[in-house]
Structure 1
Amino acid sequence: MGFPDPSLLLVAAFGVFIIAFMKGAFGGGLAIIGIPVLSVVMDPITAGALLAPLFILMDVAALYYWRPKTWSRIDLLLLLPSLACGTAIGFLLMKIIDRSAIAVLIALITLAFTALWFRGGGKVVQQPRSKIKAVLAGTASGITSMMAHSGGPPVAMYLLPLGLPKAVYAGTTSSFFAAGNLMKAVPWLMLAQPTSELWTLMALCLPFIPLGVWAGFQLHERLDQKQLYRVCYGLLIVTSLKLLWDGLRGYGVI
């Protein structure tokens, strides 16, 4: 069994810590924040294989804090069936669709969405639920999560305008992506077929999961409702710019 290079282990552990931190602070859907760290030392497919099992363990750790009392069941009932459908579609499209186009499209839509929110004064308001929006968001999240570990923007665009309490928002996204990560773990492992060295790297990254989730939860506790929503919208901008960068780089523009 090969032992990972120390520099590889250091970068991978930091990337896992960042993703776990985001789960503890803001719920699920922000894995793409930590993926640029991993891309320094491994290609996207290898990073996907590394993260697929670790996501499940991160979700278990995060759900220790985001228990069922923090879940918006009415929204999960609307979102989860379409998430499963989107994950299946994403798996089927992995080898035939241009992932760069998906990345650019999701990035531009999300940037427009966040720009409108900030232009409106960044207020936490409560808009009515829409079954159609929930189905579209769940499906898009499943597709982009499967294809690029970037399922956060579509579901955030559905949930944030509902003005949910900060713990309910975090708990709902955590449970939503816990289900999604279970759905996509086996397909990702089938696609990537991890080596023994990669399995060893996964094992060595395990201690950074509870540490990252705990640290993130401490930040969540210190933010009030308005601050948390501002940070979430700000992080949407960061994730969108990262998606846009990846998409344009795929076309050789940058």
Structure 2
Amino acid sequence: MEYLSPFAWTLALVIALFAGIVKGSIGFALPLIMISGLSSFLDPKLALAGILISVLATNVWQVTRQGWEPARDAAVLHWRYLLIVMVAIFAAAQIVTRIPGQVFYFILGVPVVALSLIQLVGVRLSIAPERRVTAEWGIGLISGLLGGLTGTWGPTTVLYLLAIDTPKARQMVVQGVIYGAGSVVLVLAHLRSGILNGETVWFSAAMLPAALIGMAIGFKAQDRMDQALFKRVTLIVLVVAGVNLIRKGLSGF
């Protein structure tokens, strides 16, 4: 693992804390914020390793916080989406180590910017009931591929749930189940790919306390904050971070 200066450690922990606050507040975006932020000053593969334990632990917390019965019902209702996401995550994760660094920045940056802008401008997709089975397989595949390559499959999942008019309370449960199941597969896949190994696991573990503290703060703030404004600010931050990743892909530094 590369040497990190005290400043780099501090910055990484602040990013993890902020990502946890956002996830606690709106239910997603922790991996997107962490991978965007960490990749801005770390090797993208180390950044990917760094998010893995936090992604797993925070998603498990989100699932258990809602209760097991709603989680089970959500898994039954969206089993196709769950299945294809997990398979695609595992498959895509195996090719991460073969992707050149600059290409990796594009893979990270372009979806971050595109998906964040889609939500910022208020675009809402609508999927007719008779097309939902096909949409589950198709959007689930895209989500899983992004998850395996970049560690984040939240934005596409949120867009899908909005497109099928999922009620807010159920959406939080479904998100937790999909993210929780996917994060287990993601960790296992990157143990196999070598991204998470005997060296990088310590960096990943070091990010966890900050992410959990942030998530606890986010949970407390959830009912007292202007969610629309907070989400908008978060998306703007994501666009800036994503543009920076694309810049690194173009310039190499």
Shorter-chain TM band: 0.7 to 0.9
TM-score (norm 2): 0.75
Q: Could you tell me whether the CA contact under 8 Å between 1:46 and 1:194 is conserved in 2?
A: no
What is aligned with 1:77? 79
Q: Could you tell me whether the CA contact under 8 Å between 2:63 and 2:176 is conserved in 1?
A: yes
Query: 1:253, 1:4 → 2: CA distance?
Result: 20
Pick closer, same or farther for the CA change 1:70–1:19 going to 2, 3 Å: farther
Q: Does 1:170 align with 2:172?
A: yes
What is aligned with 1:179? 181
What is aligned with 1:246? 245
What is aligned with 1:207? 209
Q: Could you tell me whether the CA contact under 8 Å between 2:105 and 2:249 is conserved in 1?
A: yes
Pick closer, same or farther for the CA change 1:194–1:5 going to 2, 3 Å: farther
Pick closer, same or farther for the CA change 1:92–1:204 going to 2, 3 Å: closer
RMSD: 3.6
Q: Deviation at 1:186?
A: 2.9
Q: Does 1:110 align with 2:110?
A: no
Q: Does 1:191 align with 2:188?
A: no
Q: Deviation at 1:182?
A: 0.8
Deviates more, 1:140-149 or 1:57-66: 57-66
Q: Deviation at 1:240?
A: 5.4
What is aligned with 1:6? 6
Counterpart mapping for 1:224-239 below 5 A:
228=227, 232=231, 235=234, 238-239=237-238
Q: Deviation at 1:86?
A: 1.6
Runs of 4+ in 1 over 6 A off after TM superposition: none
Pick closer, same or farther for the CA change 1:5–1:15 going to 2, 3 Å: same
Q: Deviation at 1:102?
A: 4.4
Q: 2:91 aligns with which of 89, 92, 97?
A: 89
Deviations 1:96-155, CA, capped at 9 Å, x for gaps: 59545645664575367436635x8xxxx9964711111122111111111112312221
Pick closer, same or farther for the CA change 1:201–1:104 going to 2, 3 Å: closer
The alignment covers a number of residue pairs equal to 244
Percent pairwise identity? 18
Q: Could you tell me whether the CA contact under 8 Å between 1:66 and 1:167 is conserved in 2?
A: no
Deviates more, 1:31-40 or 1:147-156: 31-40
Question: Structure 1: which 5+ runs fail to align?
Answer: none
Pick closer, same or farther for the CA change 1:93–1:39 going to 2, 3 Å: closer
Q: Deviation at 1:56?
A: 1.4
Question: Structure 2: which 5+ runs fail to align?
Answer: none
Query: 2:208, 2:95 → 1: CA distance?
Result: 31
What is aligned with 2:161? 159
Pick closer, same or farther for the CA change 1:240–1:203 going to 2, 3 Å: closer
